[in-house]
């Protein structure tokens, strides 16, 4: 208590005393609500209570080191602890990086039945780990048709390997990267830092993209990094998860040219279809490094894509790696000891989905429907007071900067916990940083003031999600504490059942 307060008490008696005391308590509460490190935050303590998320190396079972519970698994687990279940109509899942999977206006009909008898008993056998030949050819044709019509060098089935999903494709590639420095930029798709660290031969070298620069990957900066750090491989999602920005046109062309200076480019192009061009004549355009590859067998460019996002079939687990024949032979080999290949049945069922007219119709309907959802989400966020300064030009993610809000909800992890109480899910930004579970203090993460919102779900879910965000902000106005300050006496709601201690 300050000397002025004491004087007031003495001079003005009881009323002044109680006023001064109230003011002091208020001051104390607002100080308490200010968080400067993890120890002050209940939301962070919950995260740390999960197996694998302590800062020190754990080895409860001999030889087993838990990779840490972050990303969508953590978000879903926390959501379930707060009452979420898949298909529950009361919830809005803006966390999971998945597109809606039903019919879209003007889109081709979705597949509802698969008749196995059309392929005979052979379809019950293993498929080759490189994938079914017809599908490999269909994928090669897709790239030649969309991006390489005027090029002499064309992809063939030998330039394509089918994999059981995109992550399996990436893992197969990572398994054949030798002892080199492998560069990637954060924020980036969560899986990369975790996966790259598993392959001990390669050394992951992360660098940061800056918000002031709209998260743009500058080819000049990259060139310098390649030289200064002797990078042998660059991995990037393009369009980028979570920022929704992409390298396109001249920049992408330059990047592909850069690869000829002996650096292999691994381009994850899962969001290639999710483009929102301002000019209506660009509707239907998609993006791929394949457009700038000169010689398909010489240029060190590896492309990964699949049915997961563009075709909106994440459950099928059918994806592909496209690149020089020698690379495809290597990833076919790594697939034989890593995953054994994609489902034979679903590879056969995928064939009609790559037919040219169907693909065209699919892309246009997707771009229209997702643009409408993006614009709706941006409009609602602006109304709520959370204007997005760097709106997504691609993907179905909004990288939402909370730093303009007051503590504690300006922190992505706290915001995430508060949103769960309103039956909506987002992903805290820290999960897009490098190895977040092992960071000493997550408050030091550059992604700490962010959350990622997905406008993948159908419009009605998105509306519920935006209403939920509005309620969190309104609630915060009336209560300074929320999940911010850790209180020893408060029960942590749904605290983790898998806690390691
Ligand atoms: C950039 C990126 N690549 C790959 C994937 C995953 O692909 P899959 O589910 O086929 O493993 C995702 C999913 O979120 C992604 O965001």
Return all residues near 452 (Cβ < 8 A) that are at least 6 apart: 242, 397, 398, 399, 400, 426, 427, 429, 431, 432
| 393 against 25, higher pLDDT | 393
How far from the centroid of its chain's Cα atoms is residue 190's Cα?
Answer: 6
Interval between CA 15 and ligand 1 midpoint (Å): 63
Q: What is the pLDDT of residues 266-322, one digit of tens each?
A: 999 999 999 999 999 999 999 999 999 999 999 999 999 999 999 999 999 999 999
Check pLDDT > 50 for residue 380: yes
Interval between CA 273 and ligand 1 midpoint (Å): 14
Residue from 241, 320, 392 whose mutation best tests the ligand 1 pocket (most atoms within 8 A of CB): 241
**What pLDDT does 48 receive?**
82
Radius of gyration of the CA atoms of the chain, in A: 25
**What pLDDT does 2 receive?**
39
Distance CA 400, CA 388 (A): 6
CA-nearest residue, atom 8 of ligand 1? 166
Sign of CA dihedral 196, 198, 199, 204: positive
Q: Is 274 within 8 Å of 394 (Cβ atoms)?
A: yes
pLDDT > 70: what percent of the chain? 86
Residue from 75, 76, 97, 342 whose mutation best tests the ligand 1 pocket (most atoms within 8 A of CB): 97
Measured from the Cα of 395, ligand 1's closest atom is 16
**What pLDDT does 446 receive?**
85
Token pair recorded at residue 395: 């993907």
Check pLDDT > 90 for residue 250: yes
**What pLDDT does 25 receive?**
43
Interval between CA 59 and ligand 1 midpoint (Å): 29
pLDDT band at 45 (very low <50, low <70, confident <90, very high): confident
**What pLDDT does 256 receive?**
96
Token pair recorded at residue 427: 């992903």
Check pLDDT > 60 for residue 493: no
Check pLDDT > 70 for residue 390: yes
Measured from the Cα of 167, ligand 1's closest atom is 11
Check pLDDT > 90 for residue 488: no
Check pLDDT > 70 for residue 324: yes
Measured from the Cα of 308, ligand 1's closest atom is 10
Q: Is 293 within 8 Å of 322 (Cβ atoms)?
A: no
Residue where the block lists tokens 């879910």: 461
**What pLDDT does 491 receive?**
34
Interval between CA 270 and ligand 1 midpoint (Å): 7
How much is the average pLDDT of 315-341? 97
Alpha carbons within 13 A on the beta-carbon side of 262: 5
Q: What is the mean pLDDT of the chain?
A: 87
* Cα→Cα distances 381→152, 215, 438, Å: 48, 20, 32
* Strand stretches in 271-423, DSSP E: 301-306, 319-322, 397-401
Q: What is the pLDDT of residues 168-187, one digit of tens each?
A: 999 999 999 999 999 988 89
Token pair recorded at residue 403: 């730093």
**What pLDDT does 499 receive?**
36
CA-nearest residue, atom 6 of ligand 1? 166
**What pLDDT does 489 receive?**
32
Interval between CA 437 and ligand 1 midpoint (Å): 20
Measured from the Cα of 240, ligand 1's closest atom is 1
**What pLDDT does 20 receive?**
43
Check pLDDT > 90 for residue 79: yes
Q: What is the pLDDT of residues 225-245, one digit of tens each?
A: 898 989 999 999 999 999 999
Lowest mean pLDDT among 66-70, 187-191, 330-334, 459-463: 66-70
Interval between CA 483 and ligand 1 midpoint (Å): 31
DSSP-based three-state secondary structure for 480: coil
Query: For ligand 1, which residues put their CB under 6 angstroms from it?
Result: 97, 165-167, 189, 237, 241, 268, 270, 306, 308, 314, 319
Check pLDDT > 50 for residue 463: yes
Interval between CA 419 and ligand 1 midpoint (Å): 24
Check pLDDT > 60 for residue 326: yes
- Whole-model pTM: value is 0.87
Check pLDDT > 60 for residue 151: yes
**What pLDDT does 35 receive?**
67
Q: Is 396 within 8 Å of 455 (Cβ atoms)?
A: yes
Residues of the chain by 3-state class (helix, strand, coil), percent to 5 = 45, 10, 45
Interval between CA 149 and ligand 1 midpoint (Å): 28
Token pair recorded at residue 198: 């598993």
Check pLDDT > 90 for residue 26: no
**What pLDDT does 486 receive?**
47
Distance CA 307, CA 317 (A): 7
Residue from 96, 165, 186, 191 whose mutation best tests the ligand 1 pocket (most atoms within 8 A of CB): 191
Check pLDDT > 90 for residue 437: no
Residue from 308, 312, 314 whose mutation best tests the ligand 1 pocket (most atoms within 8 A of CB): 308
Interval between CA 265 and ligand 1 midpoint (Å): 17
Interval between CA 169 and ligand 1 midpoint (Å): 10
Check pLDDT > 70 for residue 435: no
DSSP 373-417: HHHHHHHHHHHHT---SS--SBTTEEEEE-TTSPTTTTSHHHHHH
């Amino acid at each position: 208590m300050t000397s002025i307060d004491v004087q007031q008490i003495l001079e003005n008696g009881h009323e002044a005393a109680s006023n001064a005391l109230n003011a002091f308590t208020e001051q104390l509460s607002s100080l308490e609500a200010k968080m400067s490190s993890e120890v002050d935050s209940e939301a962070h303590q919950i995260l740390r209570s999960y197996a694998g998320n302590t800062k020190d190396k754990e080895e409860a079972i001999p030889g087993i080191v838990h990779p840490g519970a972050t990303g969508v698994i953590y978000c879903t687990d926390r959501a379930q602890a707060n009452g979420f279940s898949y298909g529950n109509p009361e919830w809005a899942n803006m966390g999971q990086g998945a597109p809606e999977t039903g019919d879209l206006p003007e889109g081709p009909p979705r597949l509802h039945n698969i008749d196995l008898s059309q392929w005979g008993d052979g379809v019950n056998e293993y498929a080759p780990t490189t994938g079914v030949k017809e599908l490999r050819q269909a994928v090669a044709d897709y790239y030649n048709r969309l991006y390489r019509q005027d090029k002499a060098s064309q992809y063939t089935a030998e330039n394509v390997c089918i994999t059981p999903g995109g992550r399996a494709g990436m893992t197969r590639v990572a398994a054949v990267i030798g002892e080199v420095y492998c560069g990637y930029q954060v924020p980036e798709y969560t899986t990369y830092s975790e996966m790259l660290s598993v392959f001990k031969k390669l050394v992951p070298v992360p660098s940061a993209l800056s918000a002031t620069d709209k998260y743009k990957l500058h080819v000049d900066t990259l060139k310098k990094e390649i030289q200064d750090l002797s990078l042998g491989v660059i991995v990037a999602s393009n369009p980028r998860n979570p920022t929704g920005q992409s390298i396109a046109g001249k920049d992408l062309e330059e990047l592909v040219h850069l690869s000829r200076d002996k650096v292999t480019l691994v381009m994850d192009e899962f969001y290639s279809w999710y483009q929102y061009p301002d000019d209506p004549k660009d509707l239907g355009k998609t993006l791929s490094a394949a457009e700038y590859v000169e010689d398909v067998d010489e240029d060190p460019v590896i492309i990964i894509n699949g049915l997961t996002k563009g075709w909106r079939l994440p459950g099928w687990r059918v994806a592909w790696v496209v690149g020089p024949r020698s690379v495809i032979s290597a990833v076919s080999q790594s697939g034989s000891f890593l995953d054994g290949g994609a489902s034979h049945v679903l590879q056969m069922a995928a064939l009609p989905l790559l037919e040219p007219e169907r693909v065209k119709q699919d892309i246009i309907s997707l771009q229209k429907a997702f643009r409408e959802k993006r614009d709706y989400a941006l409009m609602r966020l602006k109304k709520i007071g959370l204007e997005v300064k760097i709106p997504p030009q691609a993907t179905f993610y909004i990288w939402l900067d909370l730093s303009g809000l007051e503590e504690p909800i300006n922190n992505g992890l706290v915001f995430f916990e508060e949103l769960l109480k309103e039956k909506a899910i987002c992903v805290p930004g820290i999960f897009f940083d490098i190895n977040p579970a092992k960071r000493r203090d997550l408050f030091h993460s550059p992604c700490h003031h962010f959350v990622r919102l997905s406008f993948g779900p159908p419009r009605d879910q998105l509306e519920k999600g935006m209403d939920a965000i509005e309620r969190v902000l309104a609630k915060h106005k009336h209560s300074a504490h929320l999940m911010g300050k850790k209180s020893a006496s408060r029960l942590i709601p749904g605290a983790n059942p898998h806690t390691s201690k």
